[in-house]
Amino acid sequence: MSSPPNPPTLHVKLGLVASLLYAANGVLRTLCTQRNMKVHWVSGLAVMLVGMALPLELASRASVLFCVLIVIAMEVLNTALEAFVDLHVRQYEKHAMIAKDAAAAAVLIFAIGAVVVFADVLFHRWWMVTRSMEAVWRTIWFGSPLLAATAIVLWMPRKVPAIVALGLGSIGLLTYLAFHSRDEIFSAGALAFVLAASLARLREPQLL
């Protein structure tokens, strides 16, 4: 009688670079698999574009950036908790439901808070928006197709040529907007959002 095959060995790489790669894979995997993360990602990119167009002061820039990043981080943590619960609970369990619902509620609260902070920044500096209408219209005309292309990349059936074409088109639109940008950090953030969306879909078979 033959013995059952040995389970595959899990090879764990150590070191700072490996840790960073694992963390990046966690973000990209969440982006591939979670609908809410895709919504947060496109919304975060939209905020980056607004930050590129408006001459916000340091406190407002820091607040907006922090809100975007904390929502993304909370969605990653929520995904981790759901995966952990699913790993250990194979059937309906009330405490598992409570854990999942509470984690989702935390993400929702942070998302609402981010919207409130962003709206408050714009409301109390509306004069800044009215004085930057040229930049606002430029962002609408070039940012709208950029957001649409990123959304298509995240939700479309995986086709490498289409992902590459949309990604390059998005970078082209972003390059034009970055040339007129009021803030390099927001420009770099927008580029990171665009690249991560394309990279997540291109690496999807290896991530799942």
Helices (H) and strands (E) in the chain, counts: 9, 0
What pLDDT digit, counting tens, does each position of 93-117 carry? 788 888 888 989 999 999 999 999 9
3-state secondary structure of 62: helix
Element (H, E) at 55: none
Active site residue 75: yes
77 in a domain, yes or no? Answer: yes
Integer Cα distance of 113 and 199 in angstroms: 29
Within its chain, how far is the Cα of 16 from the centroid?
23
159 in a domain, yes or no? Answer: yes
* Structural domain that includes position 107: 34-207
Give the pLDDT band (50/70/90) at residue 204.
very high
Report the number of distinct structural domains present in the chain. 1
16 in a domain, yes or no? Answer: no
What pLDDT digit, counting tens, does each position of 158-175 carry? 999 999 999 999 999 999
1 in a domain, yes or no? Answer: no
Q: What is the pLDDT of residue 1?
A: 47
Among residues 57, 75, 93, 134, which one is catalytic?
75
90 in a domain, yes or no? Answer: yes
What pLDDT digit, counting tens, does each position of 35-77 carry? 999 999 999 999 999 999 999 899 999 999 999 999 999 999 9
Count CA atoms closer than 13 A to 45's CA, side-chain side: 30
Entry pTM: 0.89
19 in a domain, yes or no? Answer: no
